[in-house]
Homo-oligomer: A and B are copies of this chain.
């Protein structure tokens, strides 16, 4: 198991590189967060905190939150739902909702068309579920933020 560290370093490096490239320092706390983010998909900030502290008890809560914010700023990590931290609802019978959300200024642009509707039948069959609605969000940089770079 002497090479675990090395093996990890490799998968980890793209996020760390993004940090360096943006002028941020690579520290133990940030390495720990990157390590946790590498190891799995979608998770809440709180879950990341727990995992980081399980493996690196010395790392403080605040550093995890701060690192997630930075990783998100350099686009090494995708925040869901606007980076807002609260519950969102929409009327069920109003069909589906589609947004483009700017990672930089958080502007939201809504649009209607959607190819996801075409997936509904297939997914219902394959998973044996009934689908009642869906949400599609694209993340990126809006026109004015692109211009400002």
Contacts and interface: CB of A to CB of B under 8 A. Distances in A.
B79 A88 contact: yes
Contacts of A43: 88-90
A109 B127 contact: yes
Contacts of A59: none
A101 B13 CA distance: 32
Count chain B CB atoms within 10 A of each CB in A38, A93, A120, A146 and give the residue with the most. Answer: A93
Interface string A39-63: 0011111101000000000000000
A86 interface: yes
Interface stretch (A2-10, A21-29, A128-136): A128-136
Contacts of A120: 138
Q: How many copies does the complex hold?
A: 2
Interface in A65-100: 68, 71-72, 75-81, 83-94, 97, 99-100
B128 A139 contact: no
A146 B126 CA distance: 15
B127 A90 contact: no
A134 B110 CA distance: 14
Interface of A: 14-15, 37-38, 41-46, 48, 68, 71-72, 75-81, 83-94, 97, 99-100, 102-103, 109-111, 113-116, 118-120, 123-124, 126-143, 146
